[in-house]
Amino acid sequence: MINILIADDEKPIADLLKMGMSKAGYHCVCVYDGNSAIEEVEKQPFDLILLDVMMPGIDGFELMEYIKDFNIPVVFLTAKTSLNDKLKGLHLGAEDYIVKPFEMLEVSARVEGILRRHGKLQDIITIDDLEINTSAMTVEKSGEEIILTKKEYDLLLMFARNPGIVLYKQTIYENVWGGDYPESTRTVELHVQRLKKKLDWSDKIKAVYTVGYRLVVSP
Amino acid sequence: MNFRLRLIISFALLISIAFGVGGTLLISSAFYSLLKEEQSAIINEYETLHNNLIMVNYFSSFDSDEKMNELIEQMSERNMAHWQAVSLEKSDGVILQKGDQNLLSYDLQVEDQGTYGYVLINEGEKRRLLLCSELETDNDILSLKASFDLSSAYINRDNQLRIFFVIYIVVVAVGILVAVVCANLLTKRLQKLTEAAREIAGGNLSMRTSLRTGDEFEQLSRDFDAMADQLEDNIKCLEEDVERKENFMGAVAHELKTPLTSIIGYADLIRQCNLEEDERMMAANYIYSEGQRLEKLSYKMLDLLLMDKDTFTLRETNIRTLMEQVYVATYPLAVKKKIELKVESDRVNVAIEPDLTKSLLYNLIDNAIKATPEEGRVKVSGIGIEGGCQFTVTDTGYGMEKEELSKITEAFYRVDKSRSRSQGGVGLGLTLCSRIVELHKGSMEFKSKPGQGSRVVVRLFGELQEGDA
Task: Express each pLDDT in B94-106 by its tens digit.
Answer: 777 777 777 777 7
Q: Please check whether residue B259 touches A, CB under 8 A.
A: yes
Helix (H) or strand (E) holding B182: helix B151-201
Count of CB atoms situated within 10 Å of the CB of A81: 13
Q: According to the model, what pLDDT value does residue B272 have?
A: 84
Decide which of B78 and B290 is more confident: B290
User: B260 vs A102: CB contact, 8 Å cut-off?
Assistant: no
Q: What is the DSSP string of B236-295?
A: HHHHHHHHHHHHHHHHHHHHHHHHHHHHHHHHHHHHHS---HHHHHHHHHHHHHHHHHHH
User: B262 vs A10: CB contact, 8 Å cut-off?
Assistant: yes
Which CATH code fits B310-461?
Answer: 3.30.565.10
In a mutagenesis test of the A interface, which of B254, B262, B293 is the best target, namely the one with the most A β-carbons within 10 Å?
B262
Please give the C-alpha separations between residue B142 and each of B40, B62, B65, B100, B104, in angstroms, as whole numbers: 23, 11, 12, 20, 15
Asked if pLDDT for residue B467 goes beyond 60, the answer is no
Gyration radius of chain A over CA positions: 19
Share of residues in chain B with pLDDT > 70 (%): 92
Taking residues B378-399, what's their average pLDDT?
89
From CA A189, how far away is CA A194, in angstroms rounded?
9
Pairing of strands A138-141, A130-133: antiparallel
Helix (H) or strand (E) holding B57: helix B3-59
From CA A52, how far away is CA A3, in angstroms rounded?
17
Task: Express each pLDDT in B131-161 by its tens digit.
Answer: 888 877 777 777 888 888 888 888 888 888 8
Q: According to the model, what pLDDT value does residue B113 have?
A: 63
Q: Please check whether residue B273 touches A, CB under 8 A.
A: yes
Which CATH code fits B208-306?
Answer: 1.10.287.130
User: A102 vs B289: CB contact, 8 Å cut-off?
Assistant: no
Q: Please check whether residue B264 touches A, CB under 8 A.
A: yes
The reply to whether A3-117 and A150-215 are identical in fold is no
Per-domain boundaries in chain B: 3-160, 208-306, 310-461
Burial zone of B30 (CB within 10 Å; 0-12 exposed, 13-18 middle, 19+ buried): middle
Q: Closest chain B residue to A55 measured between Cα atoms?
A: B417
Domain B3-160 annotated CATH 3.30.450.20? yes
Q: According to the model, what pLDDT value does residue B86 have?
A: 82
Q: Closest chain B residue to A212 measured between Cα atoms?
A: B272
Q: According to the model, what pLDDT value does residue B22 have?
A: 92
Which CATH code fits A3-117?
Answer: 3.40.50.2300
Peptide bond into A101 cis (omega under 30): yes
Backbone angles phi, psi at B384, to 5 degrees: -85, 135
Per-domain boundaries in chain A: 3-117, 150-215
Q: According to the model, what pLDDT value does residue A136 have?
A: 82
In a mutagenesis test of the B interface, which of A6, A13, A102 is the best target, namely the one with the most B β-carbons within 10 Å?
A13
Q: Point out the residue among B258, B283, B417 whose CB comes nearest to the CB of A79.
A: B258
Asked if pLDDT for residue B321 goes beyond 50, the answer is yes
Task: Express each pLDDT in A29-52 by its tens digit.
Answer: 999 888 888 888 888 889 999 988
- Measured between beta carbons, the chain B residues lying within 8 angstroms of A10 are 258, 262, 421
Q: Closest chain A residue to B255 measured between Cα atoms?
A: A79
Please give the C-alpha separations between residue B230 and each of A165, B196, B226, in angstroms, as whole numbers: 64, 15, 6
Please give the C-alpha separations between residue B456 and each of B391, B393, B424, in angstroms, as whole numbers: 8, 5, 22
Structure ipTM over 0.90, yes or no: no
Taking residues B338-354, what's their average pLDDT?
88
Q: Please check whether residue A206 touches B, CB under 8 A.
A: no
Domain A150-215 annotated CATH 1.10.3720.10? no
Q: Point out the residue among B258, B274, B275 whose CB comes nearest to the CB of A100.
A: B258
Asked if pLDDT for residue B73 goes beyond 80, the answer is no
Task: Express each pLDDT in B23-67 by its tens digit.
Answer: 999 999 998 898 888 888 888 888 888 888 777 777 765 555 677
Task: Express each pLDDT in B258-279 by its tens digit.
Answer: 888 889 999 988 988 888 888 8
Torsion angle defined by CA atoms of residues A63, A67, A73 and A74, in that order, rounded to the nearest 10 degrees? 0
Indicate the length of chain B as a whole number. Answer: 469
Decide which of B226 and B119 is more confident: B226
* Bridge partners (DSSP) listed for residue B176: none
Asked if pLDDT for residue B336 goes beyond 70, the answer is yes
